[in-house]
Structure 1
Amino acid sequence: MGKKRIARFLITLGVISTLLVGMTACSGSKDASTSSTDSDSSFNKTGLPIVKEPITLNVLTVRWGNMGDTFTTNTWLQNLEKDTNVKINWQVMSSNDWAEQKSIMLASGTMPDVVLGDVAFSDSDIVNNLSSFRPLDDYIEEYMPNLKAAISESPELKKLSTFPDGKMYSLPARLPSRPVTHNQPVINKAWLDKLGLKVPETIDDLYNVFKAFKDNDPNGNGKKDEIPFSGSQDISVDLLAPFGITDLNATSMMVKDGKPVYFPTSNEYKEAIKWVHKLYSEGLIDQELFTQDNTMLTAKQQNPDVALVGFTNQWTPDAVFGKWKDQYVTIPTIAGPDGKRYQVGDPNGLSYRRNELLITTSCKNPEVVARWADQFYTNEASIQNFWGAIDTVIKKNDDGTFTLMNPPAGTSADAWYWDSSLRDFGPKYVNPSFEKNIVLDPANGDGLKLEIDKLGKEYVTTPFPNVMYTSEEFQELPTLTTDIDTYVRTNRAQWITKGGIDEQWDAYVKKLNEMGLEKLVKIRTDAFDRYNSVK
């Protein structure tokens, strides 16, 4: 180990040591020692407060970059402490250096009472360290009526959170007002209008629009610098969607007729690649698609002189094209050669998540944590932990609806929500029927995405789900996916840019089989079957 790495390791170890000393000190304090295990007379199985004498829980959460801990001033969270007698010692970590800190924490075996947010520990972290986390099924059954009701109404919560041994080690979430669709086609409407073109409906229409964009100078600068389609290499997969190829969870798997299918060896994939190669060979796709980084792409999307990009796929167009954003509109999903439309997304909505709260085996008060966490699983609690507190970010109206207030001047709505709440992280559940009471601005942020969602939601395919793998499967997967995924991506780029898929197809499939494709598909299929067996 070099001197710089040793120094960095010691610094990180010091940070973790300081954190763990704080946890140990707190766990040994008078407040923390008053627990349901040690004193049943202090713990209330129902009602509030949860405990008669205050206790303190160490709750670790990871935030993106340098977001900090302003969310802890959320009025709902502060009132929860008063109402429950459960005080929270927040341990807020930055995602920038969490990976190294996490490794040391898992190796040390000394953990906080609670880990909140799915960015902290991945499935493999949990599966490979089960001795550090408590199974939660019995606690849910006995102490969490709100979550039990949510699971009864939305069984997806349990399917998503059940580990291969049949137990739940983490709590799930259903976020409010989330869309069904993922990225949607976005086109330069100003260019269409200038050339007298209609919004494309089919891949033939799209081809003709691309040709017109390339040949007729729609940005009006007298140069042939228009790029009909551009995006990242990952976005190039969206061009395959009209052929029925969708891959929400980036597994190269689809569900077809109720069964998992590995699509990079399918005929639909082959035909889709041939079509995209035709576009590329005629200069209708960014010739740097597979070599540009995000800086290069952004420079094209936000070129200071004129708009350069005609078409792409995006979550929303407003944050991508800078001063040209008003030229772009989101359009309905493009129909494929069979006349059908296929949209990337999830019919259940992009709202379900797991690993949002874990109770560690270091926690002396798991019943208290279970009751505390259950307070998050109501509609009003959930919206306040996703956007911000009522009377701070949300206005509760006399008719029972809830309206988001405008952010402070100079602050984006999304940044304000992250500063004011747990946002994407932590346990929460919003009843689907309650969402009609949430009033969002259709021109901005979450409200805009729900408007865009209407353009493609009826065409969303059933994705290969976010399945769970066993410890043994997690050991095999990296070896298989590293080689196989790289080989698939390399060939896809080569076939799109240079062609030759017909001549090379058989050798390609043979090579994948030699690399262990059958084993990879079996692992994915076994996990799929376990997922669907959960009742």
Structure 2
Amino acid sequence: MRIKSISIGKKMLVVGILSLTMLFNLIGCTNQSEEAPADSSSNFNKEGLPIVTAPVTLDVLTVRWGNMGDTFKANKWLQDLEKETNVKINWQVMSSNDWGEQKSIMLASSTLPDIIFGDIVFSDSDIVNNLSYFRPLDDYIDNYMPNLKAAMEETPEMRQISTFPDGKMYSLPARLPSRPITTMQPVINKVWLDRLSLDVPDNIEELYNVFKAFKEKDPNQNGKPDEIPFSGSVDISMDFLSPFGITDLNNNSMMLKEGEPVFIPASIEYKEALKWVHKLYAEGLIDQELFTQDNTMSTAKQQNPDAALIGFSNQWIPDAVFGKWKDEYATIPSIAGPDGNRYQTGDPVGLSLRRNELLITTSSKHPEIAARWADQFYTNEASIQNFWGAIGTVIQKNEDGTYALMSPPEGTSADAWYWEQSVRDFGPKYVSPGFEKNIILDETTGDGLKLVIDKLGSEYVTEPFPNVMYSAEEFQELPTLTTDIDSYVKTTRAEWITKGNIDQEWDAYIKQLNDMGLKRLVEIRTDAYKRYTSVK
């Protein structure tokens, strides 16, 4: 047995060395022979184009979802950028399927490419726990990035979300174009309402009565009691609880109440919401498999081939979910709660802001060149071409100054086409709010449809607990708190929805949360929130 274990260990060592070698080769495969010294005054141009007189190559690592590949490199704007700047890009494209393992190897090696491109590559904690690998960018922004500086002056939130606990910016932000204010909105089967001569529900009492009718009156007309008035994900969606004033934009169970951070599952609003949901569950008005089904089971119900089965849900847009039944569904205004008010998850400043979209590593010998190259992305035209596709390929530029998206090729969805033709969600970009009026979108599908239905809930969007940044010490402490607390919250939520007894068990539940360190968890998040709001 000992001999076998040694053999296995040797094999693992060889595999690790090979993986590491492949990454080193990937990082270091740039042909340096044609390049002049990066920062010599005779080669580097602080302003204007080209950025360098003699060509310089930068290694740029990006990660793409699944098997998307590197077709985005054919984007004409990216190709023209190389010619105009004299900065050649050695794109290192990784798949998200393999990146988890490769990321650990790369960070352990401490040898990184010049640029990290896209927020899927490294998380906040990856960066904070490896700050020595990444350059503080404040001085580079001041000296070499006038486009980004102007963007952050117009939209200060970009600096706010990108400032780390030590007060410095290690990553660059993005503002995506034509993004909505709301996230998931209430979607109902309008055909069922019409067949039963019901009005669109306005409040939770009317919603309850609609659910009862959906369950009892065979609105899909197949003669079977198979209608499911409400169905959702594996766990009860916070969006379904929004009529009670509960919104959770960043999925961390935190809200702002009168400007103060609050842990939602310890609030009275949460308790009252679960009592209402238990009533629905006990009467068979919500999916009885809500806590046991996976996404495959949920999709099978949404796209059941014989008849529509779902009456109500919360979705981004209905046409992306319900398959052949998509035309039966309509987005409706946010449902009013017990207090008569409406609450909607989202962000009043828009869901367009991102951080960690580009990092310049300390391994790079060309940081000034990298900064100037990145700054080229922060113009309106550059950004729309890196979100949808190049002008002349995907975007039509009209004589009146507007920009219209072309129809995708036969057999390809618009969204798939955009991902094929651009870096899409990833990478630095900035589209100013004033420029967005020049963008013409198809209002019947995709991004355009979302902006139309966004108007139904945008006035009810609450101010969210923001996507704050934590320190290395806080990142070390948070998992020890959230692992137990989050698990306990989910377990009790499922029990109270399916079995009830929340009134009798509430005090013991709060005591258990406190014993698990809830006070410290809220303290950490409050400290991070105060740092976030102090950034100017």
TM-score, normalization by structure 2: 0.97
CA distance in 2, matches of 1:151, 1:236: 34
Map of 1:82-93 to 2, 5 A cutoff? 82-93=83-94
Aligned-partner SS, 1:96: helix
Letter paired with 2:38: S
CA distance in 2, matches of 1:12, 1:176: 42
Letter paired with 1:21: N
Aligned-partner SS, 2:404: strand
Whether the 8 Å CA contact 1:44–1:50 is kept in 2: the answer is yes
**Residue 147 of structure 1 corresponds to which residue in structure 2?**
148
Task: Give how far 1:194 is off.
Answer: 0.3
Task: Give how far 1:320 is off.
Answer: 1.1
Map of 1:386-465 to 2, 5 A cutoff? 386-465=387-466
Aligned-partner SS, 1:385: helix
Letter paired with 2:99: W
Whether the 8 Å CA contact 1:12–1:101 is kept in 2: the answer is no
**Residue 372 of structure 2 corresponds to which residue in structure 1?**
371
Change (3 A) 1:205 1:165: same
Q: Which moved more, 1:448-457 or 1:225-234?
A: 225-234
Unaligned runs of 5+ in 1: none
**Residue 507 of structure 1 corresponds to which residue in structure 2?**
508
CA distance in 2, matches of 1:198, 1:46: 62
Whether the 8 Å CA contact 1:12–1:100 is kept in 2: the answer is no
Change (3 A) 1:32 1:461: farther
Q: Which moved more, 1:2-11 or 1:511-520?
A: 2-11
Letter paired with 1:512: L
* Pairing 1:30–2:33 present: yes
Task: Give how far 1:41 is off.
Answer: 1.4
Aligned-partner SS, 1:289: coil
Aligned-partner SS, 2:237: helix
Q: Can you list the C-alpha shifts for 1:476-534, whole angstroms capped at 9, x where unaligned?
A: 00110000001011111110111010000000000000000011000000000000010
Whether the 8 Å CA contact 2:174–2:429 is kept in 1: the answer is yes
Q: Can you list the C-alpha shifts for 1:394-429, whole angstroms capped at 9, x where unaligned?
A: 000000000000000001100100000000000000
Task: Give how far 1:257 is off.
Answer: 1.0
**Residue 325 of structure 1 corresponds to which residue in structure 2?**
326
- Tell me the C-alpha RMSD between the 2 structures: 1.5
**Residue 63 of structure 1 corresponds to which residue in structure 2?**
64
CA distance in 1, matches of 2:326, 2:213: 21
CA distance in 1, matches of 2:300, 2:29: 51
Aligned-partner SS, 2:160: helix
**Residue 256 of structure 2 corresponds to which residue in structure 1?**
255
Q: Can you list the C-alpha shifts for 1:214-260, whole angstroms capped at 9, x where unaligned?
A: 01011111111110000103453222100000101011110111111
Whether the 8 Å CA contact 2:26–2:92 is kept in 1: the answer is no
Task: Give how far 1:30 is off.
Answer: 3.0
**Residue 290 of structure 1 corresponds to which residue in structure 2?**
291
Unaligned runs of 5+ in 2: none
**Residue 482 of structure 2 corresponds to which residue in structure 1?**
481
Map of 1:271-350 to 2, 5 A cutoff? 271-350=272-351
Change (3 A) 1:13 1:321: farther
* Pairing 1:217–2:218 present: yes
Change (3 A) 1:216 1:158: same
Task: Give how far 1:389 is off.
Answer: 0.2
CA distance in 2, matches of 1:493, 1:393: 46
Map of 1:49-198 to 2, 5 A cutoff? 49-198=50-199
Whether the 8 Å CA contact 1:279–1:285 is kept in 2: the answer is yes
Whether the 8 Å CA contact 1:13–1:101 is kept in 2: the answer is no
CA distance in 2, matches of 1:10, 1:198: 67
Count of residue pairs brought into register by the alignment = 532
CA distance in 1, matches of 2:17, 2:412: 36
TM-score, normalization by structure 1: 0.97
Change (3 A) 1:298 1:3: farther
